[in-house]
Amino acid sequence: MRKKERRNMLEEIPVLKENLVLEVAEQEKYLIVPRSAWLERVATKLLKQPTERRIKLDEHGYFILSQMDGETSIPEMEERFSRTFGNEDGMSLSRLVRFLQIMDSYSWLQWKRG
């Protein structure tokens, strides 16, 4: 049995997967996620459901996702985030990492070595 490789997220660069899109519509910010699993595709046809999920983002989530250009590392994102929104409690890095872990749990991110 192979050991699971431990990785340090701070040494990697997160990138949004190609099929995901950020959208701003009427001052609301969304992450557009296509419904591509076979069961979802069947449901969209039979039950006439939307072909994509529109996930509403707050300004923090939108800011973080808009920083994912394939070049920006997590420490750089945290520095920009702190400059923009402040970091009075010193928790911006842990919040950023937790947000990225959640995004990664949905398989919405790709990782590049920094």
pLDDT tens digits for range 40-78: 777 777 777 788 889 999 999 999 999 999 999 999 999
Please name every residue paired with 34 in a beta bridge, in sequence order, or none if there are none: 52
Between the CA of residue 46 and those of 3, 39, 43, 49, 101, what are the distances in Å? 43, 10, 5, 8, 33
Give the pLDDT confidence of 7-45 residue by residue, as tens digits.
Answer: 777 889 999 999 999 999 888 999 999 887 777 777 777
pLDDT score, position 32: 93
pLDDT score, position 1: 54
46 class by beta-carbon count within 10 Å (0-12 exposed, 13-18 middle, 19+ buried): exposed
- Cβ–Cβ < 8 Å for 93, 78: yes
Q: Which residues contact 41 (CB under 8 A, 6 or more apart)?
A: 35
Q: Is the pLDDT score of 3 beyond 70?
A: no
CATH code linked to domain 18-35+48-109:
1.10.10
Domain boundaries, given as residue ranges, for the chain? 18-35+48-109
Give the pLDDT confidence of 78-109 residue by residue, as tens digits.
Answer: 999 999 988 888 888 889 999 999 999 999 99
